[in-house]
Structure 1
């Protein structure tokens, strides 16, 4: 039996333990922009509100053939409660800013994780056991 997996069918395995989803569309391709809603829905279905989602309009260096205005990306991001940025991977525009935005969004989530998941009680008043062994093996 031959099973052909589409990229969409692999989403659960890719995002199962992720903290961030970066959904990228091509600003010169309206169809790629329209598909982002499905990708965001898939991420939310798998991770709920536990994941930071950033919508990225890429290829802004191709302004002369742009099909998706910046305002449309901003509106969709606001509507779907995601972060938003436009970039050009080709010329490196806003790439560092993209990762800064992700980094800025992460600490709040990490603090909550540390507070809720990694709480270990250490009793400093408990006397240390003295080993009767001569060597440390």
Structure 2
């Protein structure tokens, strides 16, 4: 059984793009906003074994926020994403962390990704501040780019390694192939109101 890992963050920060870069090594400049949860099963190589992850991509728009707990209630890991060119998206990460800890406790493995590092000239979030915040909540900070692939592998490997380290079930991790990939889609309950999901 795979460990659930949820991606959290505001809309348009690049959550889906990071996942697509990792599981399929593709990047789409005009990635559509996520309006229904999608999950990807991937085995991540950690040292000499593979850790099975069930990676959940969720919608980040405000009107979908209340649906978050449905998906991360049983999570063992989380990757929180913000856009380095958008200070508000970093502030919102702090709210996601509090909600996550309240729902699943503090033993969850968390990586915080400052995404779109390929646009560093437009950066408005201070890296040292972001790293200090991550450390203060028991997380590790990564700078990532779904476009170039920078930091993507490292973030996933970190979360898988932390989950493996914290696992108390005594399960054996397969040393077999890590190429398996299953993709699924889950219909999210529709939020109240109407309008563009973008």
More strand by share: 2
Whether 2:90 is the aligned partner of 1:33: answer: yes
Matched with 2:115 is 58
Please give the residue correspondences for 1:110-129 in structure 2 after superposition, counting only pairs within 5 Å.
110=167, 112-114=168-170
Q: What's the CA shift string for 1:2-58, capped at 9, x where partnerless? A: xxx832211211101111111100000011011111000111111012311111100
TM-score, normalised on structure 1?
0.74
The gaps in structure 1 that reach 5 residues or longer are 116-137
In 2, Cα distance between equivalents of 1:20 and 1:103: 8
8 Å CA contact 1:21–1:53 kept in 2: the answer is: yes
Bigger Rg, structure 1 or 2: 1
More helix by share: 1
Q: CA deviation at 1:113?
A: 2.5
Q: Larger RCO: Structure 1 or Structure 2 (Cα < 8 Å, ≥ 6 residues apart)?
A: 2
Matched with 1:75 is 132
TM-score, normalised on structure 2?
0.53
**Matched position secondary structure for 2:163:** helix
Give the paired residue count: 110
Please give the residue correspondences for 1:98-137 in structure 2 after superposition, counting only pairs within 5 Å.
98-110=155-167, 112-114=168-170
**Matched position secondary structure for 2:147:** coil
Q: CA RMSD in A?
A: 1.5
8 Å CA contact 1:11–1:43 kept in 2: the answer is: no
The gaps in structure 2 that reach 5 residues or longer are 1-61, 172-198
Greater than 4 Å deviation, 4+ residue runs: none
